[in-house]
Amino acid sequence: MNRALRAATMGVLLLSPVALSACSAGQVTQTATQERDKTGAMGQVGDLTIRQAQFLSPTEGFYERGDDAELQVAVVNTGTEADTLVDISGEGFGDVEFDDGSTATGVGSSTGSSSSADGIEIPGDSAVFIGDELTVTLTDLDEALTTGQYLELTLTFENAGEITLPVTVDTPSESVERGEAFDFHHEEGTEESAEGEQREGGEG
């Protein structure tokens, strides 16, 4: 009996490290090594980090063919030298327009950046948000675009170079109004009344 008890005790001790290691492994969740989902595309080129690249949500819930789409994107410059967004290229639109919201081009904004027909400046050691005072508009869309759909855009910076991102249409902040629902009961009532009139006409 004592030998059997000792053997059982040794078995428990030998299995304990395995059991403990299994328990500790379970405490490290999968989400601990995952980055939380963020709205909009992200990427990095040179000293520039691009965040939350997306199209402004359209008023009607979708862009029609021929519409203009406004781009929203944050650009963080961790370098000491200024850089400039000089071009946005890709398929699915006609042209790109840069604007700082003023009547004169090249006038500085409150962000410390400036915009002109040639692009948008990103000062060193700063972050610039495009989509408020500074705007970038893609004109004359080739096809309709709705929430979740995207265009692959290549952003070209004077110093950092190019980066290509899938830019999606943002989700509306409010629900889009729908048209009046079809009244099936009204249709049924109309059909019933029509059948009744036909029966009355036959009886007459």
Q: Which domains does the chain have, with CATH numbers?
A: 41-168 (2.60.40.1890)
The pLDDT tens digits for 86-116 are 999 999 999 999 987 653 333 333 334 445 5
CA angle 51, 121, 91 (to 5 degrees): 60
Phi, then psi, of 203 in degrees rounded to 5: -70, -35
What does the pLDDT read at residue 110? 31
Residue spans of alpha helices (H) in the chain? 2-27, 184-203
Phi, then psi, of 196 in degrees rounded to 5: -65, -40
Q: Are 117 and 99 in contact (CB under 8 A)?
A: no
Q: What is the mean pLDDT of residues 42-51?
A: 96
Q: How confident is the model at residue 77 (pLDDT cuts 50, 70, 90)?
A: very high
Closest CA to 118 of 107, 105, 129, 127: 105
Percent of the chain scored above 70 by pLDDT? 57
For residue 103, the SS3 value is: coil
What does the pLDDT read at residue 40? 85
Neighbouring CB atoms inside 10 A of 111's CB total 20
Closest CA to 85 of 154, 141, 39: 154
Q: How confident is the model at residue 196 (pLDDT cuts 50, 70, 90)?
A: low
Neighbouring CB atoms inside 10 A of 121's CB total 25
Rounded to an integer, what distance in angstroms lies between the CA atom of residue 108 and that of residue 159? 20
Is the pTM higher than 0.75? Answer: no
Q: What is the mean pLDDT of residues 109-125?
A: 67
Please count the CA atoms within 13 angstroms of the CA of 140 that sit on its side-chain side: 4
What does the pLDDT read at residue 193? 53
Q: Are 69 and 136 in contact (CB under 8 A)?
A: no
> What are the structure tokens assigned to 138, written together?
């893609």
Q: Are 145 and 63 in contact (CB under 8 A)?
A: yes
Residues counted in the chain? 204
What does the pLDDT read at residue 154? 97
